[in-house]
Chain A
Amino acid sequence: MMEKTILKSSFPQWIKSLQSFKVFIPKRENFGWELSSNNQILEIASDYTYPVVPPKKLIFPQEEIFFEFEQNPDNGIELKEVLPEESPQVIFGVRPCDGRAVEAMDLVFGGSFEDLYYWRRRRQTTLVGLACHQPPSENCFCLSVEGSPYSEDGLDILLTDLGDRYFVKALTEKGEKLLSEAPSLFKEITPKDREEKERVHLEAQGKIKRHLNGARELPEKIKAIFDSNFWDEESSNCLRCGICTYLCPTCHCFDINDETKSLAPLRGRRIRTWDTCQFPDFTMHSSGHNPRPDRASRLRQRLAHKFLYFILLYDRFQCVGCGRCISLCPVGIDIIEVLTRARNHGK
């Protein structure tokens, strides 16, 4: 672990020094912030909140080619494995919630079988976090799910904005390597830097408005009300658009399909794409039987996965409290409210 500071005026030089990396920095778009590799941008804007699409898309892209296939003249079929390129990337402006989300996703794509495509990208990715001064969204509730505006989990570096400079904490070897690309830009920290950083962190914590109380009681509660009509009431507005899961930084479900470019000779590719448990056909058998046939069972699946099943598997929530699903839901389904009502159900 290494702690330094860097002046904001030196920041562009640091970015420029990262020649061997593809660098992603938040960029303002008309729909919100986006992690962009447009290398014109050399600083993190002071009014940056968080990206609409979380950084998961740079490790687990919305569309990933597994392999290409082509029929050859003697009628055999050739498969060409398509693995992610060898191209180290650095992502700046990763909010602590999104860093924790990557850590949660590592658990899913690791385990008894390591997903080659995911880990190719993951190992080449350096996550440079940025502690939150202000909650990036009015719906932030990271404190309630064991996170914080300055959590280091999953990150390689954590930056804290101290006005004219950043407090830089390198958390991993990958992070230290990034500092070593331009060592002269980084200064030794003073006790004042540390003090100021602590103050910023504490203040940020106090600015979070929304809370989900008693989240650790939810696993038992969800089990208890599993079969109740609670879920029908809560899900009745759901449009099944799937935005809550597509833009969730921890949701990892995917589909695998073939895309055909030509039928004779056969030529195409197999791709993995994001999928969501909120779509009715997610669990539909080819026979027509659907074990999760309605909105109620699908909302329950989403919340139970995050606040019950994931805890049973990994002893942590599969929710980092970023609030995206709340802000983006077109019909106002609010995970904090739903879970709070769940906790109070039958009381």
Chain B
Amino acid sequence: MKPETKLNQSNPFLPEPARIVRAYNLTQDVRFFQVRLVDMEKALSFRYRPGQFAMISVLGAGEAPFSISSTPSRPGLLEFCIRKVGTVTNALFRLRENSLIGLRGPYGNGFPIEAMEGKDVLIVVGGLGAAPLRSVLLYCLDNRDQFGRVIVLYGAKRPAEMIFREEYFDLKKRVDLECHLAVDADDTGTWTENIGVVTTLFPKVKDINPANTYALVCGPPVMYKFVIKELVKLNIPKHQILMTLERRMKCGVGKCGHCAIDYIYTCLDGPVFTYWDVLHMRELI
């Protein structure tokens, strides 16, 4: 992986103009945004790692952190899956295609792609956790020969809330990927996959080679404890269980204090943490 490049190195608080080139709803309250930096050179040279995030500005409404859902293996466009929950996201949802926004980043540590190369990758997704994990999943698929088994377990509340549902059903057809889907409840009557929380998918995962497996987890806070239990049962080493966690953030550069946990800053040292970190740092989840 090429090293990341940061926008506006001298004053990162200045956002770089970017254009929403495509936006459509994934679910009732989650919208997909394709964004391109206005400066073509910067758009093409912008480098990031799967698992990193960017700060998006809607001038007048403010700024908030969002994990990047696209993969650096497809440069040029950046993609985000954003849930409408606060001031900035409400303003974002009002913007049409071709609107200008501000972008700065990339921030955070991202996934240790180099260490994961040659290993099996088990991705466990809950709900909107699909946003950051999509980046690493697409990266693995774009560089399929560099990874061992790729397994995806994805749980959502209801079929309509499963973001990129069609993409995942397509993935199920691939022979080089194991993809298992679940919903907590089926209100459509047409759901053909598992019903239950994401942990009910674990029995479908066979013959894991734990020492050779990286498990990547992202979902709502309540999910971690149950998923980690399953991963530990599979004997996956603690430092190979990776979680990408959420935190309120303002600056992205380790100054403002909002995302401070213990002696670390989520925006610098996270948002990707190992289970080992979680055991040693309280308040992490």
Contacts and interface: CB of A to CB of B under 8 A. Distances in A.
Contacts of B86: 286
Nearest to A281: B248
A277 B261 CA distance: 12
B14 A112 contact: no
Name the prevailing secondary structure of the B interface residues. loop
Contact of A112 (B10, B62, B251, B268): B268
Name the prevailing secondary structure of the A interface residues. mixed
Contacts of A108: 255
B127 to A, nearest CB: 10
B11 A116 contact: yes
Contact of B248 (A67, A252, A282): A282
Given A81-B11, A287-B85, A309-B263, A282 B220 contact: no
B262 A258 contact: no
Interface string B1-19: 0000000001111110100
Interface string A300-329: 010001001110110000000000000000
B17 A77 contact: yes
Most chain A beta carbons < 10 A, residue from B57, B60, B260: B60
A115 B59 contact: no
A69 B60 CA distance: 8
B254 A77 contact: no
Given A66-B14, A113-B254, A256 B62 contact: yes
Nearest to B89: A286
A79 B85 contact: no
Contacts of B268: 112
Nearest to B55: A256
Given A116-B10, A286-B86, A291-B285, A255 B256 contact: yes
Given A258-B61, A305-B260, A309-B263, A111 B283 contact: no
Interface string A98-118: 000000000011011101110
Interface string A279-298: 00011111101011000010
Interface residues of B, number: 42
A249 B258 CA distance: 18
A275 interface: yes
A104 B64 CA distance: 28
Interface stretch (A182-190, A230-238, A260-268): A260-268
Contact of B256 (A256, A284, A312): A256
A336 B15 CA distance: 43
Given A76-B100, A253-B258, A256-B256, A285 B60 contact: no
B104 to A, nearest CB: 11
Contact of A312 (B60, B247, B255, B263): B263
A257 interface: yes
Most chain A beta carbons < 10 A, residue from B14, B255, B260: B255
A113 B257 contact: no
B158 interface: no
Contacts of A66: 13-14
A327 to B, nearest CB: 23
Interface string B143-185: 0000000000000000000000000000000000000000000
30 contacts: A69-B59, A77-B17, A79-B17, A112-B268, A113-B253, A116-B10, A116-B13, A252-B255, A253-B257, A253-B258, A254-B250, A254-B255, A255-B250, A258-B60, A258-B61, A258-B62, A260-B60, A270-B62, A270-B63, A275-B256, A285-B248, A286-B64, A286-B83, A289-B246, A291-B247, A291-B283, A291-B284, A301-B260, A309-B262, A313-B263
Interface of B: 10-15, 17, 57, 59-64, 83, 85-86, 89, 100, 102, 220-221, 246-248, 250-251, 253-258, 260-263, 268, 282-285
